[in-house]
Amino acid sequence: MSGTGDRQAFPAGRAAAVVVKAIKAEPGRLSAADLAAWGAAAAESWPELQPLLRWFGEHKRDLPWRHTRDPYKIWLSEVMLQQTRAQTVIPYYQKFLQLYPTVQDLAAAPLAEVLKAWEGLGYYSRARNLQAGAEYVTETCGGTFPQTAAGLLKVPGIGRYTAGAVASLAFAQPVGAVDGNVLRVLCRLGNYPWQQGNTHDRRAGEALLDSLQQSGRYPAGPLNESLIELGAVICRPGAQADCPACPLQAVCKARISGQVKDLPRPSRRLTPLPEEQRSFLLLINQADQTWCFVQRPASGLLAGFYEFPSLDGKVSQEEINRYLEEQGYHLLKLDYLGPGRQIFTHLIWDCDFWRAEVSLPQESGPPELTASQICGKLGSTPLPGRSESQLAEPELVYRTVSHKPAHAEEPAPELAAAGFSQTAIWLNPARAAARLTFPRILQSFLPGSGAVDSLL
């Protein structure tokens, strides 16, 4: 992962001075060779890390992926652990491995089923990439994982961090794995003025840890994992850092100079996230109190998931009325429920919620399906949040009716293949347990929305 050949051209002490000067002058333009030279120099004067490894041996959390050296299982855990806490990941990890015990099983599984197993973990592109990677390992590598970081980087969806983690943890390769936690630990130990989200600072951290690994002073897997663990449980962000419990407190330069809670420095987002305005309709069939859900497009954000019907932008009562008439519904009662915001990684939905009671056109009537029938048909269709258990509720009754989505879309292929020509599902919660209350459903579809919480 780093150019050791280049590094020999730089005597460590001089290189460090040159590179630090260059970082200050023009941080974005440092070459890979300069960074590697800086990493080598920093590693040479780095404090002794044995106390960290001892602490890890004695105090590490007992997590299921720490009992294996199977690269497939380690890869899976690392992907699940991106953006998600270890305690949340454990049941998903175990269930996923029951469904797909080997990389070949994952490669052969239908994507919709894989997404179903991922349901609730969020960041669904991870599941799509995982399956694409499994196909590559199965078809191009004959089912055997590459053992080096360079080889692993060729697997679709595997980036520098994951390549380093799998290479070191499964194959004991001396290569670093720098995620946000590890970068924070290194930043504080060296008291570097690094900034969150800064690519150059991350590269500096990677060069440093690669050099520490290549020094051969520590076992590769435990070195990476002990840094990950320290960042996760002790060297926490900001004021949450628990310095008195840290095995490296005596040598941590940020602690000695009182900078811990200010490092790494917060990022300054130069461009605000784009905002999309959406108006969601909680569309209720007055006759039987069923609610309408429609399927999102087969690609893009939350692809294939169900949500409440929505209109683009902020809309007036007249526009809602017109939209409903176009669907063949007759509006009986319309209430504005309030605003809500849903923040994604790259986009914010600025939402309005409306409750609309309607009557359905005559021809849309039965057939009604029981929950188990519809779950059979839609068994592999992903739903957001915790909705899987709600759909498994045996007392629910579903029915599909003809529905023209606001955005012209074909029904998703799995829906069409299951014999559904329509895109809307009407769901009757009337006899469901109390946990299936109106706001709970709303919350499971738009988790984290402050305005939704206020509707509770």
**Residue ranges that bind ligand ADE, judged by CB under 6 A:** 63, 78, 81, 86, 179, 225, 228, 232
Q: Are strands 348-359 and 275-285 parallel, antiparallel or unpaired?
A: parallel
Residues forming beta bridges with residue 283, ordered by sequence position: 356
The DSSP result for 411-424, as a single string, is PPHHHHHTT----E
SS3 (DSSP) at 388: helix
Cα 278 to the center of its chain, rounded Å: 23
Shortest Cβ contact with ligand ADE: which residue? 81
Least distance to ligand ADE, CB of residue 30, Å: 27
Asked whether 263 and 194 are in contact (CB, 8 A), the reply is yes
- State the residue for tokens 């600025």: 350
**Tokens 């290479």 map to which residue?**
167
Cβ nearer to ligand ADE, comparing 81 with 134 = 81
Residue 24: count of CB within 10 angstroms of its CB: 9
CA distances (Å), origin 119, targets 17, 91, 383, 385, 389: 50, 12, 7, 7, 11
**Closer CB to ligand ADE, residue 163 or residue 424?**
163
Residues belonging to the chain? 456
CB of 233 to ligand ADE, least distance (A): 9
Q: Which amino acid is at 104?
A: Q
113 is catalytic: no
In the beta sheet, which residues pair with residue 277? 350
Give whichever of 63 and 302 is closer to ligand ADE, judged by the CB atom. 63
392 close to 433: Cβ distance less than 8 angstroms: no
Answer whether 201's CB lies under 8 Å from 192's CB: yes
CB of 417 to ligand ADE, least distance (A): 37
Q: What distance in Å separates the CA atoms of residue 261 and residue 15, rounded to the nearest whole number? A: 30
Q: How far apart are the first and last CA of the chain?
A: 51
CA 171 and chain centroid, separation = 26
How remote is the C-alpha of 365 from its chain's centroid?
A: 40
Q: Minimum distance from CB of 197 to ligand ADE (Å)?
A: 18
Nearer to ligand ADE, 67 or 268 (CB): 67
| Residue that has been written with the tokens 């060779």 in this structure | 33
Task: Compute the distance between CA of residue 90 and CA of residue 99 in angstroms, rounded to an integer.
Answer: 14
Give the relative orientation of helices 220-233 and 199-214 as an angle to the nearest 10 degrees.
140
Query: Looking at beta carbons only, is 245 or 456 nearer to ligand ADE?
Result: 245
Nearer to ligand ADE, 179 or 414 (CB): 179
Q: Looking at beta carbons only, is 143 or 180 nearer to ligand ADE?
A: 180
Taking the complex as a whole, the smallest distance from the CB of residue 169 to ligand ADE amounts, in Å, to 7
CB atoms < 10 A from the CB of 389, how many? 11
Shortest spacing between CB 206 and ligand ADE, in angstroms: 15
Give me the catalytic one of 26, 58, 78, 388: 78
The least CB distance from residue 81 to ligand ADE, in Å, is 4
Catalytic residues: 78
